[in-house]
A and B are shown apart, each in its own frame.
Chain A
Amino acid sequence: MSRPRIVPEPLATLPWRMIVLVVAIGCFGQVVLYSAAGGSLKPWALKQGMLFFSLLAGSLMLSRIPERLWKTAALPAYAVLVLSLLAVELLGKVSGGSQRWLDLGIIRLQPSEFMKPGIVLACARFYDLLPFGETRRFAAIWPAAALIGVPAALVMLQPDLGTALMICAGGATVMFLAGIPLRLFIGGALAAALVIPLAFQFVLHDYQRNRILIFMDPESDPLGTGYHISQSKIAIGSGGIWGKGFLQGTQSHLDYLPEGHTDFVFATMAEEWGMLGGCLLILAYILVVRWGLEVAQAAQGRFARLTAAGLSTTIFFYVAINLMMVMGLAPVVGIPLPLVSFGSSAQMTVLLCLGVLMSIDRENRRRQRW
């Protein structure tokens, strides 16, 4: 890996391919938000742009933090996040309503959001500490399950099904990559296939059952929850291959599409840019995730490998769950499309993930140069 020396070393060692992709996704998101506001920088596009670039700058700074520091901080950070989740829960109890954030005066922090990368780091650190020989023992499973279960349960209490699912999925991915026997996962999947229909019949409340039924057939409830999915499908479907054209989307501009700038921003985009825009965006995300997995493959040491792969997968889950939701393949769970949806939390999380990934990448490159 040799680059011309005109560029200073810290810049030259940055993964430019990934950064260009992320900037492209972010800028495209701002273009979509500009259109969603009816052709106006306000109220979303400008704010989002400023946020994106400052968070990107923050992410680049995070990449300077050496890998071992992440390793050291993983478990303490996890503990702090669990305590914050508890605090949120207690505050919510006190104020008499459900709450998801901690108000620190200048900034509102949503601990559950940070828990998504947090659980990956914590699990990766746990398997890093675990002796190789223990990997296929029960001792390799229950602590990790507990690490995942405690925050997932706390988030579930908020209640935030989407985030809880993502915490479980992130943790499970790390367990899978750490080498936990495959049959456990296969068995778990089988058990889930068995338990879910039973739970659907006997555990879920009527209203929860209804939600799932509406997801199966959104047209049956065109004015309720089904309305979101129906209108989103109409927006994507009516966009066709080439889209209706920039600023020409009617579903979003005439307010038929709810949450067209947040969770359903992909539908807003697809209506105007069509299948072409949608596929390019999906491709960009896949390439970013693939870069993350390549970093993981190149990484030295169990912690770095598991962290890199786990964080990449976290980004993937964001994208996949959101897209499945807007295309009517999953129930509406409130997961935004990272870097495109208006809002700070998801952007912050994803850029945090990328920051850690870049830090691992830097470590990889330095090692290769030696």
Chain B
Amino acid sequence: MRRRQARVVTEASQAYSFSRRAWLLGVAQGGVGLMLAGRMGWLAVAENAHFSALSESNRVNMTLVPPRRGWIVDRNGVPIANNRTSFRVDIIPDRLERGPEERARILATLGQLLRLTPEDMDRVRIDLDRAAGFQPVPVAENLDWERFAAVSVRLPELPGVAPSRSFARNYPGGAAVAHLTGYVGAPTAEQYKATHNRLLVTPGFKLGKDGLEKMLEDRLRGSPGEKRVEVTAHGKLVAELATRPDVPGHNQRLTIDAGLQDYAARRLGTNSGSAVVMDCLTGEILAMVSVPAYDPNSFSAGISHLEWNMLSEDDHVPLMNKVTQGLYPPGSTVKPMNGLALMHAGVSPLDRVNCSGALRVGTGVFHCHKRGGHGPLDLRGAIMQSCDIYFYEMIRRVGYDAIAPIARMMGLGQKFDLPLASQRYGTVPDSAWKLRKYKRKWTVADGLNASIGQGDVLANPLQLAVMAARIGSGRAVIPSLLARSDRPSAPALPISPDHLATVRAGMWGVVNGGGTGGVARMYVPGVALAAKTGTAQVRRISMAERRSGVLKNGSLPFKLRDHALFICYAPADNPRYAAAVVLEHNGHTVRNLDTPMIGRDIMTYLFDRERAMTSLADVEPSWGGDIATRMAAQANAYRASKNPPPAAVATKTDAVVPSDAPAVEAATDQANSQAADLVGVGPSGTTVAEDGTTEGAQQ
């Protein structure tokens, strides 16, 4: 420490002080230099990886290329769902001429070539004003080849316009496969929020919304490709970098026979119904059709509100897959199964019951469908003639609790593990069930109703087909949809072969022995059909009506007509294929649209395709043509009824109201809840077996 007073500043001390301080300054400057070098080392060495990554993410703009979806093919490799090339036209804002006149000219030319509506043109203009850089602005999608080609050849005078191809889901079978495959659509905002998968917000990406497309999503999706481009800070494209191609999803082979599926859908005609065909030995499902249906091609492209309204208002419920979601009283189709159960309970197949046409139980009178009665019948005769009185009487003797276990063994009330979005599996009632559900005791009347497949009994068409297959083969077949190379035959059911033979003889007689299904006789040499017909009433027939004559179905409104049911297998002597056909409110009014002939033709297709096609060609024109023709006609009629002015305005309405995935989902939900109301099950659409009640099929 120096003292101030002692300090005398002189020239020499000044120079000394200066050189000391200058030295200090130099050291400080060197220190700062070292610090700067150190900072640089920190940035460029220690943090190099971090900043390199940032620099790379600045430079490279990565866009995902939606993967091509795996195909769904039938058992022979015929595509059921594949991808078709879709043509689209975009504008790359960065490459578009900047001059307003030039821009207007290009847009006008495009609008003319692509026949865009003024609304579309406005949308493109607005999008272009907001867009920047190389992110394409979509002009038109799903173009036909002519319009796409028209733009492509004039590209030199249309700078910035980029025609391109992408892939769109295609269902060659159209409506025939709709309920099997489901459809695809754009992911919802919720789906993106749940996963934050960038692919879900990539334009053009679609995922399964229903049916197999939804259930097999993981397998079919594949992984996206990457397109990497180098861009400037202003979004200007500098270079295209290495592109990683997409990995297409896996293909899925089904047990379905595409030809049969298509044939069955056409053969069902104008009905509201469903058909299932199974392999008796393996359980493989060969066809699974629900009609009417929507066109999954137009659903996947996004449907208009008009189309959606039409589908959801239709009393034939085209949005519901009736095969697994439709529950019906199986009616007389349960009688062969009843026969097995009776024999199992010790009833001799030779015991006879005299059918007088009616049976009094307590205060009630139960009628046979044949007013005058069948006279004395044994089991085989009762199956052939579908006598109600026989089964009333025999089941009254053994009690329905002896029948229910066999009904379940045959597949009724069972849920099968299939890749389908939802199944409703109905009810096989018994005393324990009734006590649990209604806290009431089982009555004789309950048993009698159940014994003819009415009352509390409910089944879906798939279960009826399983029942037919199990009776036909005597094996515990389990239905399957996904093809496997090594599918073993199902194990035998614990049922006596003699019992099966008796019941099969009855089912053979239904068609070939003067039974109720004589119309279903097949004209294929060496192949006989064994079947059982069924009718499920959906209204109560009063005593007064019965006295004055039961009303014919043709005079009833659609919703009050009887359901028509049919189960069968063929060949009768060596069963290979089984089928079930269920037609809602069919009422047996038109012969060629009734179950026996439909069942016969579908089975004929498996043995003699030519004959089946000829048979179809004879009748199809009388229904208004094939499925696509009828759907188009229906759509036009609907449009005309909703929009009195002619088609031009109607098209415009379609364009203004863009369809979207949520709307389609809402439509499906609504259809499901309507269907549920129809059958009387809660609106949730989920399957609760024991909550199933009929829509009023009580006698």
Contacts and interface: CB of A to CB of B under 8 A. Distances in A.
A297 B22 contact: yes
A370 B22 CA distance: 26
A275 B232 contact: no
A250 B58 contact: yes
B51 A238 contact: yes
Interface string A284-307: 011001100100110000100110
Interface in B58-92: 58-59
Interface stretch (B5-13, B243-251, B402-410, B620-628): B5-13
A239 interface: yes
Contact of B54 (A173, A238, A279, A289): A238
A177 B21 contact: yes
A270 interface: yes
A156 B666 CA distance: 67
Contacts of A327: 36, 39-40, 43
B50 interface: yes
A231 B232 CA distance: 13
Interface string A317-334: 000100110010100000
A233 B39 contact: no
Given A132-B14, A254-B59, A329-B39, A313 B29 contact: yes
A320 B36 contact: yes
Contact of A293 (B14, B17, B25, B51): B25
Interface residues of B, number: 43
B40 A286 contact: no
B313 to A, nearest CB: 52
Interface in A227-248: 231, 233-241
Given A233-B43, A237-B43, A323-B36, A297 B19 contact: yes
A279 B42 CA distance: 13
Contacts of A254: 58-59, 230-233, 238
Interface string A236-270: 11111100000000110011100000000000001
A234 B55 contact: yes
B44 A278 contact: yes
Given A177-B22, A237-B43, A282 B37 contact: yes
B18 interface: yes
Nearest to A242: B44
B25 A177 contact: yes
B31 to A, nearest CB: 10
A316 to B, nearest CB: 5
A278 B39 CA distance: 11
Interface string B13-47: 01101110110011001101100110111011101
Contacts of B21: 176-177, 179
A251 B58 contact: yes
B9 A135 contact: yes
B51 A309 contact: no
B36 A238 contact: no
A275 B40 contact: yes
Nearest to A235: B55
Contacts of A278: 37, 40, 44
Given A254-B233, A282-B36, A240 B9 contact: no
A97 interface: no
A238 B55 contact: yes
A326 B33 CA distance: 14
Chain A interface mostly helix, strand, loop or mixed? helix
B422 interface: no
B59 A233 contact: no
Given A237-B44, A240-B44, A250-B58, A256 B233 contact: yes
Nearest to A237: B51
A309 B55 contact: no
Interface residues of A, number: 49
Contacts of B238: 254
B19 A275 contact: no
A173 B59 contact: no
Contact of B44 (A241, A286, A296): A241
A29 interface: no
Contact of A136 (B7, B51, B230): B7
Interface in A127-162: 132-133, 135-136
Contact of B232 (A255, A286, A290): A255
A270 B47 CA distance: 14
B52 interface: yes
B439 interface: no
A309 B22 contact: yes
Contacts of B56: 238
Contact of A238 (B7, B8, B17, B52): B52
B234 interface: yes
A213 to B, nearest CB: 20
A261 to B, nearest CB: 15
A133 B51 contact: no
A170 interface: no
A235 to B, nearest CB: 7
Residue from the set A236, A238, A282 with the largest chain B CB neighbour count within 10 Å: A238
A274 interface: yes
B18 to A, nearest CB: 6
B50 A237 contact: yes
19 contacts: A177-B22, A236-B44, A238-B54, A240-B44, A240-B45, A250-B58, A270-B44, A278-B37, A278-B44, A279-B37, A282-B33, A282-B36, A282-B37, A290-B26, A296-B22, A297-B22, A302-B14, A316-B32, A320-B32
Given A132-B11, A316-B29, 7 more contacts: A179-B14, A234-B58, A240-B45, A241-B44, A275-B40, A278-B40, A320-B32
Query: What 8 pairs between A and B have smallest CB-CB spacing?
Result: A237-B51, A238-B55, A255-B233, A275-B44, A237-B43, A254-B232, A238-B51, A250-B59
